[in-house]
Structure 1
Amino acid sequence: MNLLLKSAVALFYRLLEIVMVLCMVVMLIMVFGNVMLRLFFNSGIDLSEEMPRFAFIWLTFLGAIVGLHRRAHLGVDMVVRALPLVGRKICWGLSQAIMLICAYYIVYGTWLQHEIITGNASPVAQISTLWVYGVSYVTGIAIAIICIANLVRLFLGMVEEHELIDVNEEGMSEVQEIEHELADQTAHKGAAR
């Protein structure tokens, strides 16, 4: 059962990544094609004004889910790192609870606007804007599930110590490299004077 659940979760995130890549491809092809048409043929495709914008909305919302799953969102961890283990657990639990509340409001806000969104059609494609903004249902529900699972794991004592810092170490090494380069440049400028 556990292996089946892990496979389903991996498949879900793989599907999200595929949709994100498709959104990038749509944006690239439609914007580039429209620029070329305008530049060389003094014409354009009306649909290519709308579809890249819609693809960008989907890319952003789905990227938020994948980013939360991979712990790849930006964060400031200076205070949390200074806390003892219990303090880190409390802060991590609070952040998960706050994100859960935000996810609730994403879904609830979309639900309040559901009738309006469904009734509106995009100007060019004439599709219901639910197909565009309905992605917030997916995002809110997925973020809520991630946060609930994290809170359950925290209460069961299954969260490892390195997870309590919600900053991805890969991204931090790049930031630290940039900081070292800036410090070296500043030191070289000071020595040259």
Structure 2
Amino acid sequence: MIDKLIARYCRILEYGMALFLGLMVVMVFGNVVLRYGFNSGIAISEELSRWLFVWVTFMGAVVALNEQGHLGTDMLLARLGRNGKKLCLGVSYVLMLALCGVLFKGAWEQTKINASSVSAAMEISMGIFFATGLMFAVLGGLIIARDLYRLCTGQMSDARLIAVRESEDAPPGETK
């Protein structure tokens, strides 16, 4: 059940990323055309594009975490046996959960501090900007906790014990 929920949410994030990237392109291109062609511009273009970029980055990190799409090196892990790989992966999951907790705490504080501040051009709460960290900390923590549970209960395959991908192992254009 949790897998379906995470998969659905990641699909929503993928659509959101596509929408946000499209908006960024339209706003930046439209702003360039308006500035050079009509000596005008879109006042919120730069600020909104920056906000959308931050949201796309954090949303993409959640999707990549779910798909184990982050690049890394497995030079040491490849030489370890199954138990060594499990131990290293377990330690890394515990550390990542701790970091998600630290990120959540910091993002929560920043969101509270900046909730009453408004952005310069869009005049909306800066808390929305800092909520990106909350979104990643919660969703990333959920994905990591699920994977840690699978590791501890023996539900994780040997192929997933190395949770990174070498860049030369990924064919061009492959996303999973």
2:110 and 2:127 in contact (8 A); partners too = no
Matches within 5 A, 1:60-79: 60-79=57-76
Q: Does 1:123 align with 2:124?
A: no
Aligned length: 172
Measure how far apart 1:84 and its partner are: 0.9
Runs of 4+ in 1 over 6 A off after TM superposition: none
Separation in structure 2 between the aligned mates of residue 77 and residue 17 of structure 1, nearest angstrom: 28
Query: CA 1:109–1:21 in structure 2 vs 1: closer, same or farther (change >3 Å)?
Result: same
Query: CA 1:20–1:171 in structure 2 vs 1: closer, same or farther (change >3 Å)?
Result: farther
Q: Structure 2: which amino acid aligns with 1:26?
A: L
The one of 112, 137, 145 equivalent to 2:109 is 112
Q: Does 1:167 align with 2:164?
A: yes
2:27 and 2:49 in contact (8 A); partners too = yes
Could you list the per-position Cα deviations for residues 103-130 of structure 1 after superposition, in whole angstroms to 9, with x for gaps in the alignment? 1111000122232220111101100011
Q: Which has the larger radius of gyration?
A: 1
Separation in structure 1 between the aligned mates of residue 20 and residue 28 of structure 2, nearest angstrom: 12
Unaligned runs of 5+ residues in structure 1 are 176-193
2:58 and 2:133 in contact (8 A); partners too = yes
Please name the residue that 1:12 is paired with.
9
Q: Structure 1: which amino acid aligns with 2:120?
A: P
Matches within 5 A, 1:1-193: 2=1, 5-168=2-165, 172-174=169-171
Separation in structure 1 between the aligned mates of residue 151 and residue 67 of structure 2, nearest angstrom: 17
Quote the RMSD (CA, aligned, Å).
Answer: 1.7
Separation in structure 2 between the aligned mates of residue 85 and residue 75 of structure 1, nearest angstrom: 19
Separation in structure 2 between the aligned mates of residue 32 and residue 14 of structure 1, nearest angstrom: 27
Query: CA 1:21–1:173 in structure 2 vs 1: closer, same or farther (change >3 Å)?
Result: closer
TM superposition score normalised by structure 2: 0.91
Measure how far apart 1:169 and its partner are: 6.7
The structure in which a higher percent of residues are helix is 1
Measure how far apart 1:15 and its partner are: 0.7
Q: Which moved more, 1:67-76 or 1:6-15?
A: 6-15
2:93 and 2:144 in contact (8 A); partners too = yes
